[in-house]
Structure 1
């Protein structure tokens, strides 16, 4: 039975996939700031803090290299189950073994598990969409992740009830979701394509050649997401914000994305994804550049984070949708791997570059560099002449 046919038979399956993405978003949105706060309180340098945070994306990067082959062998359901089990086990180990070195290993395991969840679910959603509704479908997927990522930082408040509470609460959520996946999700597999040599060899190279501009947003989104959620707690504490203010501000990055995710997806269907990506990157870049000038003005920082998050919160999903517009269907699994590779590279570099910049004393440099990267991306738009390609 084909993957597309399986999903179309029961909308419950689609809802379960969305729930998986929400849980993955909560996991990353909570772990990054909570562990960053722990390490800051332990006196760990901002550079080492960022390096430790990047471990999650080292694991995710490693999983990306083998995700396509594992999915082909196991199928969607088994890959999702494996990801849920791995993350759940790591979550319960964090508070039991408060060691910087062990946390690095546990973060790698969380990265492997989250990457498995992301790859299986986003490819499933992407391949069952059509040219006419792809922007809307992938935006709903992105909104779901954004919901989870926005809820995640609120878990900081659970620290008031004990250092282990956020981790065990998240593990309980994964356990409940695991039961649902076991009982209700079908054992579907991706469709296999047999065709020309171009379809079976050099697919990654072909993805780059035909859709390089559409694949850059995944890198920028990973850089922004991991960089801000790892570095902003440190930035906030050193700038003079309270812990409560930091936990209140962080969700607005995701809230902005939630507000504009679906409108941007619909507009990309109507006006073109390249145009929407270019304009969003420009406005988002300017917004990030202005944040250091807002100082400790809570409301001004909140507005700028919301605007920036709204503009670039759709970058990963819209970039994938744009790649799906350009590339033939047989290349989409490979393009999905490339996008995940870019996301993980950005996620690894974001916390490290941001932490290194703050260690020099230039704490505002975190946002200056981030803004410049988005502006550079927008300036590349005229050099890309992507058009649909069929083998």
Structure 2
């Protein structure tokens, strides 16, 4: 496999650039579909095998541990073997390891297997987002990232739909999930000549980008926290308000629906307006929405409308945050910045459900949205300090 020229090289034609973008987006979308199918499938398989919910939760938490552990090594490995080659093998590893969950019945083996599977998936996400960000035309980067985020969200939604259609019994759902992941290697091969080299940069450790670009990387943490916590706990919040479980589950659909609808418009705005200001406005809207949620009471229509708008706007933290990194960094620096963003998002996936779950345990439902508001307050404080400085990012 050969590597492409740097991002702005004249050797990459506009057609090749868009071909590479299509390949990277389709690759990560296939991974999203497989994850949407696989995560509930794994939980149900463990339940069928007699594993307690507590141990299932502990095993699932290894996904976050794998993400945090693998992220620092993605850029150095990509520099050594190439972006496309590493992405290809990570997709292969994730596809093969996914089927092993069905084959291997010894529960203790699932812990290292989770590390392998989710580590490979994390590496694929980091590499694909770097690939997309590097190839996106400067004037349309926000649009490209919005399209990417929209299609990825649709992929996550498609996974559970497939799960409902094919069921959870036998090897078939695992074979389908594995096949989808392995198929994601095809676009990587077809567009390997467009994958960006990791030239340039200053070998800056990726954690330094948490300080160099805190508004962008902290956006990943806040969105990861709020998204994962909301998708996990909104149904429980609804039940605590007195809703039927089926009604409460619709709250997640409203939240995800807003995410799908708003990504492209926010990306277009990110191409026209100052991105730091947009990130701050998204966080301010997130805080206002979190405060407003308890005032909707148990009205499903009112709460659903609010969640569509609120969920869509706060998704700008993800889209605009990635766009901001792509506009500021190139080459190896961009890869490291994307890795820092992914790390913060993964940490958010751990912090959000834990803090919001603890808030619900108080027996006061409004404590959950107010806890969400706390994440936005922290972000706005950082944003104010950075935007007050002419060098803040």
Provide the TM-score with structure 1 as the length reference: 0.82
Q: Aligned in 2, Cα 1:246/1:6: closer, same or farther, shift over 3 Å?
A: farther
Q: Report the alpha carbon displacement of residue 227 of structure 1 after superposing the two structures with TM.
A: 2.6
3-state SS of 1:133 partner: helix
Paired position in structure 2 for 1:190: 196
Q: Distance in 2 between matches of 1:23 and 1:173?
A: 6
1:267 lines up with 2:273 in the alignment: no
Q: Report the alpha carbon displacement of residue 303 of structure 1 after superposing the two structures with TM.
A: 2.3
Paired position in structure 2 for 1:323: 325
Q: Report the alpha carbon displacement of residue 161 of structure 1 after superposing the two structures with TM.
A: 6.1
Q: Report the alpha carbon displacement of residue 373 of structure 1 after superposing the two structures with TM.
A: 0.7
3-state SS of 2:139 partner: coil
Deviations 1:41-93 (A, max 9, x none): 97956x76654433212112222110001111222222222222222233323
Q: Distance in 2 between matches of 1:110 and 1:239?
A: 37
Q: Aligned in 2, Cα 1:230/1:91: closer, same or farther, shift over 3 Å?
A: farther
Q: Aligned in 2, Cα 1:172/1:53: closer, same or farther, shift over 3 Å?
A: same
Contact 2:63 2:114 in 1 (8 A): yes
Paired position in structure 2 for 1:341: 343
Which consecutive unaligned segments of at least 5 residues does structure 1 have?
none
1:2 lines up with 2:5 in the alignment: yes
User: For structure 1, which segment, 144-153 or 101-110, has the greater mean C-alpha deviation from structure 2 after superposition?
Assistant: 101-110
Provide the TM-score with structure 2 as the length reference: 0.82
Which consecutive unaligned segments of at least 5 residues does structure 2 have?
none
Paired position in structure 1 for 2:33: 26
Q: Distance in 2 between matches of 1:301 and 1:76?
A: 43
Q: Distance in 2 between matches of 1:121 and 1:291?
A: 35
Q: Report the alpha carbon displacement of residue 126 of structure 1 after superposing the two structures with TM.
A: 1.0
Q: Distance in 1 between matches of 2:196 and 2:170?
A: 41
1:314 lines up with 2:321 in the alignment: no
Q: Distance in 2 between matches of 1:104 and 1:323?
A: 34
Q: Aligned match of 2:220 in 210, 218, 222? A: 218
Paired position in structure 1 for 2:334: 332
User: For structure 1, which segment, 57-66 or 79-88, has the greater mean C-alpha deviation from structure 2 after superposition?
Assistant: 79-88
Q: Distance in 2 between matches of 1:37 and 1:286?
A: 37
**What are the residue-to-residue correspondences of 1:231-380 with 2, within 5 Å?**
231-232=233-234, 244-245=246-247, 248-291=250-293, 294=296, 297-327=299-329, 331-359=333-361, 361=363, 365-380=367-382
Q: Aligned match of 1:135 in 128, 136, 142? A: 142
User: For structure 1, which segment, 52-61 or 254-263, has the greater mean C-alpha deviation from structure 2 after superposition?
Assistant: 52-61
Deviations 1:302-324 (A, max 9, x none): 32332222012232231122233
Say what the alpha-carbon RMSD is for the aligned residues. Answer: 3.5
Q: Aligned match of 2:178 in 155, 161, 171? A: 171
1:73 lines up with 2:75 in the alignment: no
Q: Report the alpha carbon displacement of residue 379 of structure 1 after superposing the two structures with TM.
A: 4.0
Q: Aligned match of 2:71 in 50, 64, 76? A: 64
Q: Aligned in 2, Cα 1:169/1:131: closer, same or farther, shift over 3 Å?
A: same
Contact 1:59 1:107 in 2 (8 A): yes
Contact 1:215 1:319 in 2 (8 A): yes
1:53 lines up with 2:60 in the alignment: yes
Q: Aligned in 2, Cα 1:14/1:270: closer, same or farther, shift over 3 Å?
A: closer
Deviations 1:247-289 (A, max 9, x none): 6543433321221111111112222112221122222233344
Contact 1:222 1:343 in 2 (8 A): yes
Contact 1:227 1:354 in 2 (8 A): yes
Q: Report the alpha carbon displacement of residue 27 of structure 1 after superposing the two structures with TM.
A: 3.4
3-state SS of 1:2 partner: coil
Q: Distance in 2 between matches of 1:239 and 1:169?
A: 38
**What are the residue-to-residue correspondences of 1:102-181 with 2, within 5 Å?**
102-158=109-165, 160=167, 162=169, 166-181=173-188
Number of corresponding residues? 384
Contact 2:87 2:127 in 1 (8 A): yes
Q: Aligned in 2, Cα 1:23/1:249: closer, same or farther, shift over 3 Å?
A: farther
Q: Distance in 1 between matches of 2:311 and 2:338?
A: 23
Contact 2:224 2:352 in 1 (8 A): yes
